[in-house]
Homo-oligomer: A and B are copies of this chain.
Amino acid sequence: MPEKAKVTPWEVRGKVDYEKLLNEFGLQPLRFLPKAFQKHVLFRRGIVFAHRDFKQIAEAVEQKKPFVMMTGLMPSGKFHFGHKMVAEQMVFYQQLGAKVYVTVADIEAYNSRNPDLKGLRDVALTEYLTNYVALGLDLKKCDFYFQSARSADGKKANAYYRLANLLARHVTFNEFQAVYGEITPGKMVSSLLQASDMLHPQLPEFDSPLPVVVPVGIDQDPHVRLARDMAQRIKEWKFLPLSSTYHRFMPGLKGDKMSSSDPTSYIALTDTPEEAARKVQKYAFSGGQATIEEHRKKGGNPDIDVAFQMLRYGLEPDDQKLAKIEKDYRAGKLLTGELKQIAIEKLTAFLKEHQKRRKSAEKMVQTFFKKEG
């Protein structure tokens, strides 16, 4: 019997039925995107597939009006291709004209796992932010901050924390429990800060009255829902409804989840091309058949083949080439070893280029944060 699927912010298990989740959470399928979105594989290929109140963002993009994209990172372990998918959306929205907010959820990390603020800061800068910049993020058009230190400007800092603290009146203990299961003071505080992260760009001290879009994995929707509910209840400010988009999970190398604690489940953007190639060869789950003969006869299944999915999630940006690979693989013309070889070549090219870019990105991050103090 297949394992029963479970999708919560804390646990993703079993085979995810996206259609079912869509209905269960009350999300809308993402259709009728502005033309600009066709440029990006994540949108074009339906990897970002659902939304809440995205219309106001689509309109802003079409009418070239300003809007905000907000996202966060929880510094833990290496920056891998799962993180890259979020970073690409950041960069894409920034290039579309969005003001980008990125929070380092260091308070959340401190309260839930790792009480080493200094270490968290280092990882956020040298691992996450450096990769963002190497992937194209423009630091100057980005409000990058730590939950533990919102702003050098007291008015902004006060406004951000004030919102988190006042939101506490507008949520019940039971609502927290429904989202978080067992409640601790640390989790409660993190959840309020997270809501303020999503909502505070709309405060007068920040970018009011711009709409805000938060791109997340579908498992994170309970956080979005909670923030949206609180925003409606608080009367001190009139918030536009939070817009959100939802992406499908990128499979881990072995076909199940990527896990920070298991380096054989992901490819890090700092893996050498040789390491990466070895991981694909050794671990990447194959949708191929047991023998070449059988494969030639029955064909492979690209839907569960991790090498193919890596191409689909972005390593092969050309839709026609991807379609040909898919067709050949299904037909049994393309063997698993050959498919892996294609992925490895793309991966090698990407990592070489990216790691070159990382070098200059490192310097930019250092300079930027020296200036910021």
A47: min CB distance to chain B, Å: 34
User: Are A188 and B168 in contact, with the CB atoms below 8 A?
Assistant: yes
Identify A148's interface contact among B115, B152, B158, B188, CB under 8 A. Answer: B158
Would A107 and B165 be within 8 Å (CB), given that A185-B188, A189-B192 are in contact? yes
List residues of A (124-176) whose CB comes within 8 Å of B's CBs: 147-158, 161-162, 165-166, 168-169, 171-173, 176
A6: min CB distance to chain B, Å: 25
A43 an interface residue at 8 Å Cβ cutoff? no
Tallying the copies of this chain within the complex gives 2
A110 an interface residue at 8 Å Cβ cutoff? yes
Would A189 and B161 be within 8 Å (CB), given that A153-B154, A154-B153 are in contact? no
List residues of A (181-195) whose CB comes within 8 Å of B's CBs: 183-186, 188-190, 192-193
Please give, as numbers and ranges, the residues of chain B lying within 8 Å of A171 by CB-CB distance: 185
What separation, in Å, do the CA atoms of A153 and B165 have in the docked complex?
19
A349 an interface residue at 8 Å Cβ cutoff? no
A73: min CB distance to chain B, Å: 17
A5 an interface residue at 8 Å Cβ cutoff? no
Most buried by B among A150, A155, A162: A162
6 A-B residue contacts at CB 8 Å? Answer: A115-B235, A150-B154, A151-B158, A172-B185, A173-B185, A185-B192
